[in-house]
Structure 1
Amino acid sequence: MTDIDTQFLRSLFDEEGSLHTAGRTALYRLYGLEGLLYVGISTCPLTRIRTHLRQQPWGSHVIGVRIDYPNDAHAAERDAVHTERPLYNVVFNGESPPPPPNRPARLKAELAAQQRRLAQLRDAVPQSTTHLRLILRGITAAEARIARLAGDIQRAEETESARRPPGRRSRRAQP
């Protein structure tokens, strides 16, 4: 393998060894001989798939993987599970799909997870200059994701409040 090939392959993965997604959420499907086994979403799809393969009783049945990056991975997952009926999904696999989750609440949960990850990165002790560079890259990327999520939350909350009838105001808006 040439140096150019090696550099290209390394560029596909982030500092944790997972497929580089640039902060996007991936929708992944796991297939077996019996058809679609599982549909899920993750910002680190290869890491999550590895976890399924190791921890799920059906993990040894997986023979194929498909990864996509839809604009709204949460909605795409809900729709895929409801229409494609994977064998091992429990959530969204009922007769009718549940209502879409509250976008501000979902973004706040993602923000909290990113803040925890940032705290873990900041607490990491570098073992070498290479480790230090990787940690600094991770911190910079986490800070950018947190800033983006904070903006998304603000816009989502503004959109939700604009949808309320004029006579109803949120508790925060009342004096």
Structure 2
Amino acid sequence: MADVDAQFLRGLFDEEGSLHAGGRTALYRLYGLEGLLYVGISVAPLTRVRTHLREQPWRSLVVGIRIDYPEDAEAAEREAVWTERPKYNVIFNGVRPPPPPDRVARLRTELSLEERKLAEFEATVPESTTHLRLIARGIEAKRARIAKLITRIEEAEAARAQVPQQVRRLE
């Protein structure tokens, strides 16, 4: 990590190594290049994030952090996990419904999710040049993934359109 990055991170912590939040509970999100990795709550969010970055097997995937202070942090956490489906949350995450059986529908669902994640990346305000670089990498990764999904959808639709023609020829 560059000295500037280390200074930035040290500046976020108080003398006790925590973010002073006046006793309020924070809702924090940890992001990777492929999207949301984890959502949690804590009265010392950066201390908690440091614990995740030290102990979790997915720690090397984290490229961004977002901290909010909602009125009801516990309810906000449940809602965020339920609706945003972070990859590594277990509590409140429930069972995902099976993907649609139709390949085109499944790809369109995935495209919609990727477009939403891209919009989140594009709406993020960078806090430092390091954050800006990470956000830019995330945006480029999402754009490439969306382009690939659009191509796969077009190929799947073309393949689906050819099936009835082949069936008619056999008759």
Interval containing the TM-score (normalised by the shorter chain):
0.3 to 0.5
- Higher RCO (C-alpha 8 Å, min separation 6): 2
TM-score normalised per structure 1: 0.47
Q: Identify the structure with the greater helix proportion.
A: 2
